[in-house]
Structures are given as C-alpha cells and as structure tokens.
Amino acid sequence: MTTNANTTQGIRRITIKFPFPTHKNAITDDYIVSGDVLGVGVSGKVYRIQSRRSGQKYALKILTDSDLSRREVILHKKACEDCEYIVKILHVYQNMFLKHKSILIVMEYMEGGELFSRITSRSKSGYTERDAARIIAMIVQAVAHLHCMDIAHRDLKLENLLFATKEDDSILKLSDFGFAKEGNNEDLPYKTPCFTPYYVAPEVISKMRYDKACDIWSMGVILYILLCGFPPFYSKSDEARLSDDMARKIKAGDYQFDQKEWGSVSDEAKSTIQQMLKVNPAERITIDKIRDCSWLTGLTSDRPINLNLLQDVDARNQIESEFTNANNLQRRLDQDGSDGVMTVRGPEASRISKKRAAQKRRLEAEQQRTTTD
C-alpha cells in the first residue's frame, strides 16, 4: 500500500489504490439514502439506507476521499472478511457526495445499537456478571483477530461496539477503523496519540512510543464500565479538556473498586481488570492470555450487578452526554499520511464525578437517619 501523499498547488494527490473493485455509479441508483444519522465516527457520519432492490436496511458511512480515508477502508475491509465480530463492509462506492469527492461505504445495519445503550436499558432488569463476561469475550475475539493481523484499533470504546440485533443473545461487533494502524513492531512502534480521553492508555498520553497493548488498556476500561456503570478514570474539574488530575490518575493507574458498586462483583473479574490496567504495557496481560482467562472460560457469576448510577435517569443521561462530548472532541490525525502529535481535548465537564458525589451524600444521609432512628 502506497502511503506517501503528494500535493500539487495545495491540492492533495491521492496515491493509495483500492485493492478490490469499487462502484463508480451514484449510490442513489442502488439505495435510498435517508437523513437518519445512525452515528458519528471519528472520520465521518453514518446514515441509514435501504436497498432499492430488496428493501433491506444497511448503514452508509461517508468519508472525504483521501489517502487517510482509503487506508481506513482498506484496513476495515481486510479485517472484517474473516471475523464475525467486526462490522462487515459490503460495497464501496467512489463518487461525488454533496459536491465533494467521497468514499461511500455500505455496511451491515446493526439494529441492536450501541453497547452503552444496551447495558443502561438492562440495568434494572437483571444485568449480571455473566452478561458482562459474554460481552467482553466477543470484544476479545475481535481484538485478537486484529492483533493477529498486526493491526491496532486504537479507539476501542463503548460507542464503537454495536449489537447486530435487539435480541438479548445478539452478537456484538467492532466498528470505526478511523484510528486503526497496521504494521507495528518493536523497532517502529506507534507514536501518534490517537484516543478518546476515558479509554486512553498511560503510554499514549505520555507521548511515548506504544504498541497494540494500548487496546488491552481500553478493554480494561470497557470491562470496568460494564461491571459498575461508570469509567475508572474521569475528571473532577470543569475544564473542557483531559484535565491534569485525570491524566495523573491514568498515568498512575489510580482507580478504585468501591464496595458500594463492586461488592457483588467477583474477585476474578476485578483481577482481570487489574491485569488489563497495568500502567507498564510490558506487564499488561496479552490478548492471548485474556482468551484463556478463567473468568471468561469458567462459570461466571449470574448474580445481578449493582448499576445504581445508571438506574438514575438523570445520571444515566449525563454520563451518556459526557461520553458523547468526549467523542465529539476527538480530532482526526495523520492529515498528511504520516504520524504527528496533537492535543486531544477531553470531557466537557465532570458530570460523572459530581453525580457520584451526590449519590454518596444521599446514601450517607440515609445511613445516618437509619442509625438515628
């Protein structure tokens, strides 16, 4: 794959060619394109579309045509061909869209929606540790497939994990390869700090060279959220960036298993998180060892998990809003096809911190009243 992008009189020349056939006709010849936005990825919006021939629903991602976009599509298509846990690319169109030269990617329609929405909807109806183990096992399958292909996803997060159907036993699939990178090795590790603040590994924000172990850290953050309803690292300030306090905690691996939220969670689950959230990437558990982890392969507890924070409608909406704000503040990197360093701003405000503090104050007040009575 050619990766050097040339420019002529300020116009960027595209040098990467697709290694597979693409469609050159207008996508509206084959699909009805609705205005319904299914999601916004790091590199473009995703719309709901419908086949004119069959009436079947699909998802359409639209990218501005560039070497960077082509690299994303090529990596995604390559990765999804032999893995059922990665969203499938069905067709790729090269055409004009809204007067811009674009790449239009037709993907399978993930009717079940985002992972965060699923766990919040089940927080009152018997969501268990076994459910969380099943979810993380599917994520592990996707990441193991990528790492075997020498690809780091670099943007693992709840919003990039989608359920195929609305059924409880639906398969979960990984999407959005806007930050994915191929070909890392010990002599030439990654250096661009691509991340969403809640999920970023310490070596990434430290501007150190890093490798695929950054995906393991992000999985640890996801597992933590799956088991308690909020992330292990969040800002306590109102600054619209990755605060110094949040960065310090990430670099130190400073997080807690508070009894209130974690009392019903098994020691095996906590140990799995601790192995994923090792600050030193060399000490972090590998993807192959995670696959053999007893917590995933054994009989995981089916006791309901305490997701009290998500059962509070206002708190749930605020947490979801804060995740969205963090996603919206992401920026696309590698504009010239090479790695570079840039600042990525973080959560808009610490709603999570404030809501947890308010919840703790209410619980303490209730306990005090009980003692007095």
Domains and CATH numbers, the chain: 24-108 (3.30.200.20), 113-359 (1.10.510.10)
For residue 140, count other CB atoms closer than 10 A to its CB.
20
What's the CA dihedral at 17, 20, 26, 28 to 10 degrees? -140
Q: What is the pLDDT of residue 9?
A: 45
- Position 103 scores a pLDDT of 97
Whether 168 is a known active-site residue: answer no
- From start to end of the chain, where are the E strands? 6-8, 11-13, 31-40, 45-51, 57-64, 89-97, 100-108, 113-114, 151-152, 161-163, 172-174, 181-182
Nearest by Cα to 156 from 290, 10, 27: 290
Question: How far, rounded to the nearest angstrom, does the alpha carbon of residue 208 sit from its chain's CA centroid?
Answer: 21
**Phi then psi dihedrals of residue 116, to 5 deg:** -60, -40
Q: Looking at residue 5, what is its pLDDT?
A: 44
Question: For each of the chain's 373 residues, which pLDDT tens digit applies?
Answer: 444 445 444 456 889 999 999 999 999 999 999 888 998 776 778 999 999 999 999 999 999 999 999 999 999 999 999 999 999 999 999 998 888 899 999 999 999 999 988 888 876 667 889 999 999 999 999 999 999 999 999 999 998 999 999 998 999 999 999 989 997 555 444 555 455 788 999 998 887 788 899 999 999 999 999 998 889 988 765 554 577 888 999 999 999 999 888 998 999 999 999 999 999 999 999 999 999 998 987 777 787 777 765 544 444 455 555 555 554 444 333 333 434 332 333 333 345 555 555 655 665 565 566 555 5
Which of 246, 211, 210, 248 lies closest to 231, judged by CA? Answer: 246
| Angle of helix 351-372 versus helix 313-328 axis, rounded to 10 | 160
d(CA 218, CA 370): 40
| Distance from the Cα of residue 368 to its chain's centroid | 41
Please give the Cα distance from 219 to 233 (Å, whole number). Answer: 13
- Chain centre distance of CA 60: 19
Contacts of 284 (CB under 8 A, 6+ apart): 213, 216, 217, 275, 276, 277, 278
Are 137 and 296 in contact by the 8 Å Cβ rule? The answer is yes
Beta bridge pairs of residue 147? none
| Residue 366 tokens, joined | 């209730």
Residue 83 DSSP SS3: coil
Residue pair 103/93 in contact by the 8 Å Cβ criterion: yes
Per-residue pLDDT tens digits for 79-108: 999 999 999 999 999 998 888 899 999 999
Query: How crowded is residue 92: how many other Cβ atoms within 10 Å of its Cβ?
Result: 21
159: tokens are 């919003």
What's residue 48's pLDDT? 96
Residue at 113: amino acid letter: G
Distance between CA atoms of residues 213 and 232, nearest Å: 18
Around Cβ 232, how many Cβ atoms within 10 Å?
20
Q: According to the model, what pLDDT value does residue 354 have?
A: 54
Q: What's the CA angle centered on 203, arms 277 and 176, to 5 degrees?
A: 80
Find residue 49's DSSP bridge partners: 33, 58
Tell me what pLDDT residue 95 has: 92
What pLDDT was estimated at residue 162? 97
How many angstroms separate the CA atoms of 17 and 207, rounded?
32
Map tokens 């708190």 to a residue: 315
Quote the pLDDT of residue 318.
Answer: 52
Give the contacts of 9 (CB within 8 A, at least 6 positions apart).
none
**φ, ψ at 237 (rounded to 5°):** -110, 175
Amino acid at 347: P
Q: State the catalytic residue, choosing from 65, 155, 176, 312.
A: 155
The answer to whether the annotation marks 61 as part of a ligand binding site is yes
Query: pTM for the complete prediction?
Result: 0.82
* Residue pLDDT, tens place only, 192-214: 545 578 899 999 888 778 889 99
Helix, strand, or coil (residue 148): helix
